[in-house]
Copies of this chain bind each other. A is one copy, B any other.
Amino acid sequence: MKHQASAAASPNLRDRLRVLTSQAILDAAEVVFATQGLQAARMEDVAARAGVAVGTLYNYFKDRESLVASLHAWRHQQMIELFEQSLAAGEAQPFEAQLLGVVRPLLSHFDQHRAFFVVLMQSEAEVGRRETMCVRRAAILELRGCFERVVERGVASGALRREDAEIFPSAIFAMMQCAMMQAHFSESATPVADQAAALVRLFLDGARVRP
């Protein structure tokens, strides 16, 4: 009541701390899960890395599964947003440039969270609870839907063949995934994003020698 600043900030303070802690836990979880593997990692490790007690994890996430799910949802959301921005930014450009404008930022995002995305893929393949699977599938389908929109635009603008258009979204997605996996297994330090142009070219022109 007395101090405007402190009084005004006070109610927000708790909330801000909550958000901060929540983020700290998610950040820690990402690193720990990526480093130790999704199942090998113990909640205690996540807590230790986040600098909180185990019990605190459970004040923010119902259980282990919920923590993993939140992590997924978070990164997924970021990717979708990144995609939307990139797509909108390239709206005025010719198709190839727009495609590259979408692929490169996504690969950059990959680069920044490389370790975690491996975990993400791993758990995507996981044969777990039914509901978990559904959520995952929905997420993947949403991402694929993004690429479908790009392909549609390519077809509409006359840049892509209409006949095989059905498999194009998956094809781009696959190439990106592959670049990712390869970087992971070869433990290469070069950013995957550097291959964006080559990938787009391969997707558009194929591998065949032109006369």
- Taken together as a complex, chains A and B put the C-alpha atoms of A40 and B39 apart, in Å, by 10
- Taken together as a complex, chains A and B put the C-alpha atoms of A200 and B171 apart, in Å, by 11
Contacting residue for A170 out of B126, B160, B178, CB 8 A: B178
Interface residue A177 (Cβ < 8 Å from any Cβ of B)? yes
Contacting residue for A161 out of B35, B37, B208, CB 8 A: B208
Tell whether, in the assembled complex, residue A167 and residue B185 are in contact, meaning their CB atoms are under 8 Å apart. Answer: no
Tell whether, in the assembled complex, residue B207 and residue A204 are in contact, meaning their CB atoms are under 8 Å apart. Answer: yes
**Given A159-B209, A206-B202, A207-B164: A37 touches B174 (CB 8 Å cut-off):** no
Tell whether, in the assembled complex, residue B158 and residue A209 are in contact, meaning their CB atoms are under 8 Å apart. Answer: yes
Q: How many copies are assembled?
A: 4
Interface size class of A (residues with CB under 8 A): 35 or more
Scan residues 109-167 of chain A and give those whose CB is less than 8 A from a CB of chain B.
115, 118-119, 121-122, 124-128, 137, 140-141, 154, 158-161, 164, 167
Which residues in B have their C-beta under 8 angstroms from that of A204? 206-208
Interface residue A168 (Cβ < 8 Å from any Cβ of B)? yes
Which residues in B have their C-beta under 8 angstroms from that of A140? 185
Tell whether, in the assembled complex, residue A182 and residue B206 are in contact, meaning their CB atoms are under 8 Å apart. Answer: no
Interface residue A102 (Cβ < 8 Å from any Cβ of B)? no
Interface residue A18 (Cβ < 8 Å from any Cβ of B)? no
Interface residue A198 (Cβ < 8 Å from any Cβ of B)? yes
